[in-house]
Structure 1
Amino acid sequence: MKEVSVQELKAKIDNKEDFQLIDVRETFEYEVSNLDGENIPLGGILIEADKISKDKPVIVQCRSGKRSAAAIMQLESQYGYENLYNLKGGILAWQEAFDPNMQVY
C-alpha cells in the first residue's frame, strides 16, 4: 500500500497540488477536527466510491491510519483503484507535527 507522510501532505497543500483528500472517519469525528478533506465514513466507502477520483492522486486519512488503510484495500480490491495513498499516522500525526492545539477525538 502506498503511503504519504503528513509532511508530504502539507507540501502538497502548500504547493496547491491537484489531489483529493478523503477522510473516512465518522461524521462526528470529522466535525471535531478535519483537514478540509471530503468526509466519506468507512462504512459507506464502497457505496460512495463514485465520489472518489481515479484521475488524480487520492490521499485517504482517518484518525491513525488503520481505517484509511482498510478503505484503500476495499477500494483497490472491489474497484481496481491504483491512485490511492494512505496518510501515515492519520490526523494524530498531523496534530503532533503541525497543530498541537487541534482537538482530536
Structure 2
Amino acid sequence: MIFKKRGAIIIDVRTKAEYSQGAISGSKNIPLQNINSKIQEIKKLNKPVITCCASGMRSGSAAAILKSNGIESMNGGGWSSLNNKL
C-alpha cells in the first residue's frame, strides 16, 4: 500500500462509541460530522490520509471532503478489512 509507505495517517471516521469497540492501532478517530472542523489540523500533518469506517460509505465521504480541501486522501473502506491489508 503506497500511501502507508509514505507515512500516511489513518483517520477512522466512525463515532467514538464505534471506535472504542475496536480500531486500527495508531489510527486517529475523527467522526465524519467533525471532519470539516479539523481540516486545518489535518493539513498541518502534511501527510497523505487513508480514511476508514465500518463499511466504506462514511470514509468515502470523508476522503472526498479532504480531497476537495487539497489533502491527498484515499478511502480505505471498512476498518477491519483495511487492518488486514496493512
Give TM class, smaller chain: 0.7 to 0.9
> Number of matched residues?
82
- Does residue 79 of structure 2 align to residue 91 of structure 1? yes
Provide the rounded CA distance (Å) in 2 between the counterparts of 1:43 and 1:65: 15
Return the TM-score normalized by structure 2. 0.77
User: Radius of gyration: which is bigger?
Assistant: 1
Q: Contact conserved, 2:52 with 2:82, CA < 8 A, in 1?
A: no
- Does residue 27 of structure 2 align to residue 27 of structure 1? no
Structure 1 stretches of at least 4 aligned residues deviating more than 4 Å after TM superposition: none
CA-atom RMSD in angstroms: 2.3
- Does residue 50 of structure 2 align to residue 62 of structure 1? no
Provide the rounded CA distance (Å) in 2 between the counterparts of 1:92 and 1:84: 19
Question: Any gaps of 5 or more consecutive residues in structure 1?
Answer: 1-7, 99-105
- Does residue 13 of structure 2 align to residue 45 of structure 1? no
Residue type of the alignment partner of 2:65: Q
Return the TM-score normalized by structure 1. 0.65
Q: Which one has a larger percent strand, Structure 1 or Structure 2?
A: 2
Question: Any gaps of 5 or more consecutive residues in structure 2?
Answer: none
Q: Which one has a larger percent helix, Structure 1 or Structure 2?
A: 2
Q: Secondary structure at the match of 2:36?
A: coil
